[in-house]
Structure 1
Amino acid sequence: MAAKRIIHWRNVIKPASGGASYKDDSKKIIRFVRMGCANRPFFHIVVAEQRTDQHMPVIEQVGSYDPLPNERNQKLVAFNFERIQHWLARGVNLTDPVAELLGLSGYLPIHPRTYMTAWRNRIKAKEESKEKN
């Protein structure tokens, strides 16, 4: 008597484009994951699946960002550019905040939102200087 073969649904159902299972074809993204306390945010820059929650396990951490200035008025950023280049070569997308940081670091072209933020800051500084005078 022949053994009964059990077929699992993952082996049968394939994505419309063909190829491997859905899990293998899922999109990846480089994004922030918020850490730290309520009034002291700190961000890890990670590669994760696009549809997962920010507190789910990530694929790899490729950097960190501390948005609050330290005693020298510096915002600290650390990148692993080799790993970022590896993931970008594999077709991973970037979120806008991460693209802005990579543009400011000189790795990518400067993001258009960076120019708009600088323009708004200049206008705000001019208005504040007029109010003081």
Structure 2
Amino acid sequence: MSELSQVARYGRYCLRLSHWGCANRPFYHIVVAKKSFPNRRYIDPVEQIGTFDPLPNAFNEKLCSLNLERLQHYLSGGITVETPVAQLLGLAGFLPNHPSTYAQAWRNREALDNPNTRRTNVILKEELN
């Protein structure tokens, strides 16, 4: 197999979040799925390589587990990474941070400084004291 075909081995696949759980309690699997299938919800993924729990636990942590060896294998094969997974991998330190992560951090800092830009459902630690 030539080196070019080795690099593009997983070009037909993408890393994406697969929604599990319910509307009030979301839970996501990080899966390898076919990119071109029209409705990916009804086919089984190729492989699950991690999970993500977006709701904070008792220690105010959002949990994300990754199989780093398989993730590195797919990334070296040229797999496409969708935006939410790229943000998670950037925050985990596996990939460079996604540009939208910087934009969200800027909005968060702006909301801390200016109460007019703050959403009404956000409770800050400063307000609790």
**1:87 and 2:93 aligned:** no
Q: Which has the larger radius of gyration?
A: 1
Instruction: Check 1:124–1:50 CA distance in 2 against 1; reply closer, same or farther (3 A cut).
Output: same
In structure 1, what is the equivalent of residue 53 of structure 2?
66
Q: Which residue of 2 aligns with 1:75?
A: 62
The answer on whether the counterparts of 1:99 and 1:108 sit within 8 Å (CA) in structure 2 is yes
Q: Which deviates more, 24-33 or 106-115?
A: 24-33
Q: Deviation string for 1:74-102 (max 9, x for gaps)?
A: 00000001001111111111001101111
Unaligned ranges ≥5, structure 1: 1-23
CA shift, 1:111, in A, is 1.2
Query: Residues 108-119 of structure 1: matches in 2 within 5 Å?
Result: 108-119=95-106
Counterpart-to-counterpart distance in 1, 2:81 and 2:66: 14
Q: 1:25 to 1:107 in 2, by over 3 A?
A: closer
Please tell me the residue identity of whatever aligns with 1:81: L
Give the CA RMSD over aligned residues: 2.3
* Residue equivalent to 2:24: 39
Q: CA deviation at 1:125?
A: 1.6
State yes or no: 1:121 paired with 2:108. yes
Greater relative CO, 1 or 2 (CA 8 Å, sep 6+): 2
Whole-Å separation in 2 of the counterparts to 1:29 and 1:77: 19
Report what 1:28 is aligned to: 13
Q: Distance in 2 between matches of 1:43 and 1:87?
A: 19
Q: 1:26 to 1:84 in 2, by over 3 A?
A: closer
Contact kept, 8 Å, 1:48 with 1:60, in 2: the verdict is yes
Contiguous gaps of at least 5 residues in structure 2: 1-8, 119-126
Q: TM-score, normalised by structure 2?
A: 0.77
Distance 2:101 2:110 in 1: 14
Partners of 1:56 and 1:109 lie apart in 2 by 30
Q: Percent of aligned positions with the same letter in both sequences?
A: 46
- Following the alignment from structure 2 to structure 1, what is the Cα–Cα distance between the partners of residues 107 and 51? 26
